[in-house]
């Protein structure tokens, strides 16, 4: 059992399991992501002072306007993970294809999928954003890792989590034995345990959705939102998935990004956003669904596969699913 001052690295050393090649691999990978998170956190705090607000002047592969910090964050996470020598394949929301892992493409044991700066339109207004990640063990051997290693359902993920850059910087991870939370102590420069095996809050009648899109929603989602409003639910929408997810996990609620008439698959990316958060949600006693199927059971057909997602309190997700039963 970890003390309240347990560091992320020590905690991850204690939480490895037989699915990792070496007992220290989980800690090394999380430490790399945590280091990237410290760098991103510091860049965000000083973004206005260093003229790294605003657009990078291009759209990413799925059409979102890329912010300067999206590009910085993407490179920092990739470099931190590459430095471990453990990663054979990586893919992020900001890259069309897989990221080149050099020699480790053959020798590395792990595949990492990530969204370096989720909710990046919040950067310029000092609202919360985050980094989301998921880790798989590779399947192929002796060849450069490829699609077979990375196009996999979340049910095969070994570990996942996020770094939330809010009023404090929080690191969350699960390796399949609970969801654990650490807070960055900026003075010590370390993430210290602030919540072990945290359980998702009970239902508190909160929903998080961009209801401005409801003119394009389909009947199951329209009926659901009318129902929850008739029951007196409160709406809370930060506009950064990771921040809305974290808020609902701690305070109770459901986040919804449905498919709609113009985007039947919705907006969110299965590999980089949905599957990792689904693993965290389930490990905290919550749930994640596309309306009918558990998010972690969905097989990606491409790196940037999109899916509708409803995630949060398990009872709330079950209620939503009832509106989607035809």
Interacting residues with Mn ion (CB under 5 A): 115, 118
Strands 309-312 and 287-289: antiparallel
Q: Which does 267 bind (CB under 5 to 8 A by kind): Mn ion, ligand F6P, none?
A: ligand F6P
Strands 129-137 and 159-165: antiparallel
Strand order from edge to edge, sheet including 206-209: 234-235, 206-209, 254-257, 309-312, 287-289
Which DSSP helix (H) or strand (E) runs through 221? helix 219-230
Q: For ligand F6P, which is the closer residue by CB, 20 or 255?
A: 255
Q: For ligand F6P, which is the closer residue by CB, 88 or 268?
A: 268
The phi, psi pair for 152, rounded to 5°, reads: -135, 150
The secondary structure of 133-150 as a DSSP string is EEEEE----SS---HHHH
Residues in contact with ligand F6P by CB under 6 A are 118-119, 210, 239-241, 267-268, 273
Minimum Å gap between C-beta 64 and Mn ion is 8
Q: For Mn ion, which is the closer residue by CB, 119 or 153?
A: 119
Q: For Mn ion, which is the closer residue by CB, 138 or 267?
A: 267
Minimum Å gap between C-beta 118 and Mn ion is 3
What is the distance between the alpha carbons of residues 195 and 8, in angstroms, rounded to a whole number? Answer: 11
Q: Which does 239 bind (CB under 5 to 8 A by kind): ligand F6P, Mn ion, none?
A: ligand F6P
Q: For ligand F6P, which is the closer residue by CB, 239 or 285?
A: 239
Task: Report the length, in residues, of the chain.
Answer: 326
Minimum Å gap between C-beta 211 and ligand F6P is 9
Residue where the block lists tokens 């950067």: 123
Minimum Å gap between C-beta 140 and ligand F6P is 29
The secondary structure of 72-108 as a DSSP string is HHHHHHHHHHHTTT-EEEEEETT-SSPBP-TTHHHH-
Minimum Å gap between C-beta 273 and Mn ion is 5
Q: Which does 85 bind (CB under 5 to 8 A by kind): Mn ion, ligand F6P, none?
A: none
Q: Which does 210 bind (CB under 5 to 8 A by kind): Mn ion, ligand F6P, none?
A: ligand F6P
Q: For Mn ion, which is the closer residue by CB, 157 or 314?
A: 157
- Cβ-contact 256, 212 below 8 angstroms: no
Minimum Å gap between C-beta 269 and ligand F6P is 7
Q: Which does 282 bind (CB under 5 to 8 A by kind): Mn ion, ligand F6P, none?
A: none
Question: How many Cα atoms sit within 13 Å of 294 on the Cβ side?
Answer: 13
What is the distance between the alpha carbons of residues 308 and 258, in angstroms, rounded to a whole number? Answer: 5
Minimum Å gap between C-beta 102 and ligand F6P is 28
Q: For ligand F6P, which is the closer residue by CB, 22 or 210?
A: 210
Q: Which does 178 bind (CB under 5 to 8 A by kind): ligand F6P, Mn ion, none?
A: none
Between the CA of residue 233 and those of 99, 203, 208, 317, what are the distances in Å?
A: 43, 10, 10, 14
The secondary structure of 157-202 as a DSSP string is -SEEEEEEESSSEEEEEESSS--EEEEEETTTTEEEEEESSPPPPP
Minimum Å gap between C-beta 9 and Mn ion is 26
Q: Which does 74 bind (CB under 5 to 8 A by kind): ligand F6P, Mn ion, none?
A: none
Q: Which does 298 bind (CB under 5 to 8 A by kind): ligand F6P, Mn ion, none?
A: none
Q: For Mn ion, which is the closer residue by CB, 20 or 255?
A: 255
């Amino acid at each position: 059992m970890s003390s309240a001052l347990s560091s992320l690295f020590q905690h991850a050393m204690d939480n490895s399991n037989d699915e990792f090649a070496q007992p220290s691999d989980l800690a090394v990978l999380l430490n790399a992501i945590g280091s990237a998170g410290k760098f991103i956190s510091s860049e965000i705090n000083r973004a206005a002072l260093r003229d790294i607000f605003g657009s990078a002047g291009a759209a990413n592969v799925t059409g979102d306007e890329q912010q300067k910090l999206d590009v910085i964050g993407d490179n920092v996470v990739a470099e931190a993970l590459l430095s471990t020598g453990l990663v054979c394949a990586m893919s992020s929301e900001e890259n069309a294809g897989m990221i080149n892992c050099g020699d480790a493409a053959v020798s590395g044991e792990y595949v990492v999928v990530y969204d370096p700066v989720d909710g990046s339109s919040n950067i310029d207004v000092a609202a919360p954003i985050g980094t989301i990640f998921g880790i798989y063990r590779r399947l192929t051997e002796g060849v450069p890792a490829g699609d077979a290693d990375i196009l996999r359902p979340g049910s095969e993920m070994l570990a996942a989590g996020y770094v939330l850059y809010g009023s404090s910087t929080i690191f969350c991870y699960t390796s399949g034995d609970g969801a654990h939370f650490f807070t960055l102590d900026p003075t010590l420069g370390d993430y210290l345990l602030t919540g072990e095996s945290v359980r998702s809050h009970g239902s508190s009648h909160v929903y998080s959705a961009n209801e401005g899109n409801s003119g394009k929603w389909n009947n199951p989602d329209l009926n659901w939102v009318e129902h929850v409003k008739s029951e007196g639910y409160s709406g809370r929408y930060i506009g950064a998935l990771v921040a809305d997810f974290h808020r609902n996990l701690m305070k109770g609620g459901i986040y919804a990004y449905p498919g709609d008439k113009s985007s039947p698959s919705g907006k969110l990316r299965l590999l980089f956003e949905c599957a990792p958060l689904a693993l965290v949600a389930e490990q905290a006693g919550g749930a994640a669904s596309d309306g009918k199927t558990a998010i972690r059971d969905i097989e990606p057909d491409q790196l940037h596969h999109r899916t509708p997602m409803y995630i949060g309190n398990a009872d709330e997700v079950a209620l939503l699913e009832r509106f989607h039963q035809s």
